[in-house]
Amino acid sequence: GTPQQLVGTLDKVFSKVDARANQLGVEKIKTIGDCYMAAVFGPRADPSEPQLIAELGATVESRQQLVEPLMLLADFMICSVSKFTLDGVHLGCRVGMACGPVVSGVIGISKFAFDVWGDTVNTASRMESGGVRGATQVTQAVHRLLRAAFDFEPRGPIPVKGKGHLETFIHYPDLRDVDSPTWSVATVGSVSGRGPSTIRGSMAV
């Protein structure tokens, strides 16, 4: 497809994801090309360090309540993307999710843009890049929080750049139901097509 068609398709996809993120209370961080990043933030670690997000003694139940909206958004993204085609090629999406502390804020003195950084974001990106089309790959920490509410398949230890081998788990959404039903959280996914026309990149959800 042409660049205009590609941008138009991305706009349609991400506009749907934006609307769903607002409904779920998930904060969109940014888009870069076909990258969509979003997060749910837990309590701050220290009032004197307002940019640092940390667990702060949250119960397992409260952590689960923080993470669930991101998984619901990931399911929505995968289901929504599967309904799009580009030059007759069906698009697909893979998503990665991790939870843990992040640092957030704005850098520089012009064209301000809020962003998040840290090992949690990097790990989420690795979960996406090593993930599976049409599914969300999560870390063991995310699996522990969501295993009672979502179905997962263990992948076993997989090599993760900069992390060695990590235990990961895969969740497949019900593609029949687009609306199916952190600690801070960041998720990353990518949209990709099968064939010569491809949209691929990291999206954080």
Instruction: Specify whether 161 is catalytic.
Output: yes
Q: Are the C-beta atoms of 139 and 123 separated by less than 8 Å? A: yes
Q: Are the C-beta atoms of 38 and 70 separated by less than 8 Å? A: yes
Q: Are the C-beta atoms of 205 and 80 separated by less than 8 Å? A: no
Instruction: Specify whether 28 is catalytic.
Output: no
- Amino acid making up residue 185: V
Which class for 112: exposed (0-12), middle (13-18), buried (19 or more C-beta within 10 A)?
Answer: exposed
Catalytic residue among 126, 144, 155, 194: 126
Q: What angle do CA 4, 31, 147 make, to 5 degrees?
A: 125
Dihedral sign of CA atoms 119, 155, 174, 90 in order: positive
Catalytic residue among 83, 161, 163, 194: 161
Instruction: Specify the 3-state DSSP secondary structure of 125.
Output: helix
Catalytic residues: 126, 161
